[in-house]
Amino acid sequence: MDTAFWLERWSRGEAGFHQQHVNPYLGYYYGELGPIAEKRSELRVFVPLCGKSMDLWWLQQNGYDSVGVECSEVAVQQFFDEQQLEYSKRHMNRHVSYKSDRLEILLGDFFTLQADDIGNISDIFDRASLIALPIEMRGEYVSKITDLQKTETRTLLITLTYPQHEMDGPPFSVSEEEVNELYSDNFRIEKLAAKDILEDEPRFKQRGLTKLTETAYKLTRYK
């Protein structure tokens, strides 16, 4: 499942994987009563494989510097058009920067990013990146995103777990055991919450799922 797959999906308007609302865990963790809200002016949040995520808009509106990366120009353009944001455009070595105030999206391949491209990030919000990738690509993804961050960088990771045989991804099912296998060598892992969300996601019931759990983890890089 390479870049061409996602470019084709966006070009054909097949963005059913796009969420129309801000993830509640983002609001809980980074919102007014969240554990790090008082430090927001010092933080820079990275959103990998961001599409046209409303989460980027929410971060900007709540006073955070944020940077995303997305391979589809269609998705990037739709984001700025739909949010009615003016932006400047700058060509970089491997990516194109679209910047509006404290929000930036880099158009290009996530796997060619360098740490200097995204700046001094303090946090990562992974709502739909790890679960967007098939199992054979997830190890490479974790290796790359580990290289992009410094020690003590925090990640708010959101996963979905369901019987994989009941539905073809994306999004894919990622178990707690796999999260530990992928991250435990370099990260402290704290499971924050797990919730059955099948009744709240009728589109997944229509695709044949009998169970769907959303889980939030806090990951902190320690080496």
Would you give per-residue pLDDT tens digits along the chain (223 residues)?
567 776 676 666 665 554 667 888 998 888 877 777 778 889 999 999 999 999 999 999 999 999 999 999 999 999 999 999 999 999 998 999 999 999 999 999 999 999 999 999 999 999 999 999 999 999 999 999 999 999 999 999 999 999 999 999 899 999 999 999 999 999 999 999 999 999 998 989 999 999 999 999 999 999 8
- Asked whether the beta carbons of 206 and 142 are under 8 A apart, the reply is no
Give the burial string for 93-132 (b: 16+ CB within 10 Å, else e).
Answer: eebebbebeebbbbbbebeebeeebbeebbbbbbbbbbbb
Determine the 3-state secondary structure of 29 from DSSP: helix
- Asked whether the beta carbons of 56 and 79 are under 8 A apart, the reply is yes
**How many CB atoms are closer than 10 A to CB 216?**
21
pLDDT at 11: 63
- Asked whether the beta carbons of 177 and 201 are under 8 A apart, the reply is no
Enter the tokens of residue 93. Answer: 């070595």
Domains and CATH numbers, the chain: 3-221 (3.40.50.150)
pTM of this structure: 0.93
In DSSP notation, 84-102 reads: T---EEEE-SS-EEEEETT
